[in-house]
């Protein structure tokens, strides 16, 4: 097969993948280009733990796992069901989440702070009531420390777990990543976030043991939507593998609450490695956000070297 034929075959897949992750495929979004601006290196060192984890392909698995785990908290689930446009514009919501992650990870300090303040301001309207894991009706607000802490725990555990399974070595190890990403939690108003992998997982265990999580019809509805995400036809076969990969990393109790069966780990492990390698081939070794950040760092360093 000629190079031109390969481009014709893979071009639409690459375009659809970029569109899914960034909201458009015809040009680099403006928010990514703005990461070249700023007058400091940001909260996270280049090539450090956060850059390594959030710039890697296992994030494709981690994002699915984070959504599944977050949905088990009835307060977080109520906020999504009652205030999110996840059904009408799921890819827009995904692109917005990716924008926040990459802005905080690769942006300057001012950009990370501004991006987090924007999210918390949008969350101000996310209020209502829910039945907790014990059946008690309680009020919720997205910016409540309890909910913000659970979202951080689920996110951090998902990205760490997926990267440990399919990613490269993390500078500073698992503890290095959890400690670095604690800064993102603080930017979102979380007090005393975990700073080690053991603390992270013990806090998730504590929430689970306390009976704060629950399954049920509402959870199963969200799970069905995540399982059959409205993606382009070209991406659906790979996504089915990524979904099964995310399920394979869940703790058995969490998987049971989600109403999901166990997954044969070894075949999924191999298939996911192939899918992630293919995504890396299509997208390149570095994200556009990381490339923009490296151009900023080169400018600040006075070298003017290209980050490509």
Tell me: the pLDDT tens digits for 252-262? 999 999 999 99
Question: Is residue 146 in a domain?
Answer: yes
Question: Is residue 270 in a domain?
Answer: yes
Question: Is residue 1 in a domain?
Answer: no
Question: Is residue 267 in a domain?
Answer: yes
Tell me: the pLDDT tens digits for 121-167? 877 777 787 777 777 788 777 678 888 999 999 999 999 999 999 99
Question: Is residue 95 in a domain?
Answer: yes
More confident residue, 23 or 306: 23
Helical spans, DSSP H, in 23-144? 30-33, 49-54, 59-70, 74-83, 90-106, 109-123
Number of domains the chain is built from: 1
- The three-state secondary structure class of 130 is strand
Question: Is residue 6 in a domain?
Answer: no
- The three-state secondary structure class of 214 is coil
Ranking 187-191, 231-235, 268-272 by mean pLDDT, the lowest is 231-235
Going through the chain in order, the beta strands assigned E by DSSP cover 127-131, 137-141
Q: Which domain holds residue 43?
A: 13-301
Q: Which residues contact 51 (CB under 8 A, 6 or more apart)?
A: 44, 45, 105, 106, 290
Question: Is residue 254 in a domain?
Answer: yes
More confident residue, 135 or 31: 31
Q: Is the pLDDT of residue 10 over 80?
A: no
R_g of the chain computed on alpha carbons: 19
Question: Is residue 8 in a domain?
Answer: no
């Amino acid at each position: 097969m000629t190079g031109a034929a390969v481009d014709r075959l893979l071009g639409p897949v690459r375009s659809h993948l970029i569109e899914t992750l960034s909201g458009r495929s015809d040009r680099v979004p403006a928010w990514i280009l703005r990461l070249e601006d700023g007058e400091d290196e940001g909260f996270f060192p280049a090539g450090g733990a956060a850059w390594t984890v959030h710039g890697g392909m296992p994030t494709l698995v981690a994002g699915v796992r984070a959504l599944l785990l977050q949905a088990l908290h009835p307060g977080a689930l109520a906020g999504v069901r009652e205030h999110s446009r996840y059904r009408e514009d799921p890819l827009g919501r995904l692109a917005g989440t990716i924008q926040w992650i990459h802005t905080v990870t690769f942006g300057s300090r001012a950009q990370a702070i501004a991006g987090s303040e924007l999210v918390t301001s949008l969350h101000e309207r996310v209020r209502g009531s829910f039945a907790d894991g014990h059946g008690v009706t309680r009020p919720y607000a997205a910016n409540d420390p309890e909910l913000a802490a659970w979202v951080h725990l689920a996110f951090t555990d998902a990205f760490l777990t997926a990267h440990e399974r399919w990613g490269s070595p993390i500078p500073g190890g698992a503890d290095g990543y959890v400690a670095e990403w604690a800064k993102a939690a603080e930017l979102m108003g979380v007090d005393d976030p975990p700073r080690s992998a053991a603390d992270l997982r013990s806090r998730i265990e504590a929430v689970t043991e306390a009976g704060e999580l629950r399954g049920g019809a509402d959870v199963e509805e969200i799970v069905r939507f995540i399982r059959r995400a409205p993606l382009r036809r070209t991406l659906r076969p790979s996504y089915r593998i990524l979904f099964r990969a995310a399920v394979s990393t869940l703790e058995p109790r969490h998987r049971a609450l989600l109403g999901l069966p166990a997954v044969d780990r070894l075949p999924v492990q191999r298939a996911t490695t192939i899918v992630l390698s293919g995504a890396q081939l299509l997208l390149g070794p570095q994200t556009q956000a990381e490339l923009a950040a490296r151009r900023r760092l080169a400018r600040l360093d006075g070298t003017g070297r290209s980050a490509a």
